[in-house]
Amino acid sequence: MSNESKTQADVAVPPIAPVLRTSGLTKRYGKARGIEGLDLEVAQGEIFGFLGPNGSGKTTTIRLLLDLLHPTRGRAELFGLDSGRDSLAIRRRLGYLPGDVALYEDMTAKELLDLVARIRSVDCEKNQRSLAERLGMDLRARIRACSKGTKQKIAIIQALMHDPELLILDEPTLGLDPLVQREFYQILLEQKTAGRTVFLSSHILTEVERVCDRVGIIREGRLVDVEHVSDLKRKKVRKMELVLARSVTDADVAQLKMEGVELVGRHGNRMELAVHGNIERLLSILSAMPVEDLVFPEATLEDTFMEFYGDRRKH
């Protein structure tokens, strides 16, 4: 077959290497747990959520990726480069937002961002102004006088303003009001559209649902699952509290026995249910009951963890 007659399917296309990869990545603090045997891959152009309760090992993982900590064993690669040996080359290509933002208090936001730009030897003026406007940030503000939310905005700008190929964000929306959060999520989606990659650590289920393609679930230092967000949404658990106009009967409980509904507790005229999946059938049954009050808050990460990941381990 001549080269001219080959179809596109006949030509082997090499797979794109992951932007971020860990192999057996482990960190122990003496006998204390850090993370254990983390195997993870994040593709180019993906928004990957790293999801777990506080203290589960998310920040330890990020510090290992950035060579701020050295692993007990295993390795991490970013852009195919070793996170320890090639840390300087890696940092030129990424933006980092720490979970514990610390800024030079005596500077204005503008002075600090200009300093970071000079250190990076990158002209960030246009992106600075654009990001500040979108986040509602006055760059003339002196950092010492800024609220926690405003300092978070400054940290977001410094992480994004140089157009990094990879963003590593540790609890990025802490302290932000809902309107600013919404704009921040839009910025992340624009980063994805531009082919950039985002690794986002969070303990907020709704946050990763909004922007992430896949989610890694970490619990007690171990990766217990990697889920597509669409699958995670089907698994999320919500607690429903019911108050009836009379005492709860065994017949009431029997009516509510169905797939996706679990009775957590009952007392007097009150019931607490754990609910996941489609609630259409449940609402139909409740409409025929003497419901006096109903509380159905947004799903919590803790409830989802207890239901689906509480006893799971990877060895």
pLDDT(164) > 80:
yes
Q: What pLDDT shows up at residue 13?
A: 45
| Topology of domain 238-298, CATH | Alpha-Beta Plaits (3.30.70)
Tens of pLDDT, residues 133-158:
999 999 999 999 999 999 999 999 99
Tens of pLDDT, residues 190-236:
999 999 999 999 888 778 888 999 999 998 899 998 989 888 777 77
List where CATH 3.40.50.300 sits in the chain. Answer: 20-93+165-234
The band of 177, judged by pLDDT with boundaries at 50, 70 and 90, is very high
Q: What pLDDT shows up at residue 300?
A: 65
Which range among 33-47, 51-65, 70-84, 289-303 shows the weakest confidence by mean pLDDT? Answer: 289-303
Q: What pLDDT shows up at residue 259?
A: 86
pLDDT(8) > 50:
no
Q: How far is CA 99 from the centre of its chain?
A: 12
Q: In whole angstroms, what is the distance from residue 236 CA to residue 209 CA?
A: 10
Q: In whole angstroms, what is the distance from residue 284 CA to residue 216 CA?
A: 35
Q: What pLDDT shows up at residue 15?
A: 55
Single pTM value for the model: 0.79
List where CATH 3.30.70 sits in the chain. Answer: 238-298
| Topology of domain 20-93+165-234, CATH | Rossmann fold (3.40.50)
Q: How far is CA 267 from the centre of its chain?
A: 37
pLDDT(59) > 70:
yes
Average pLDDT, the chain: 88
Helices (H), 46-99: 58-65, 87-91
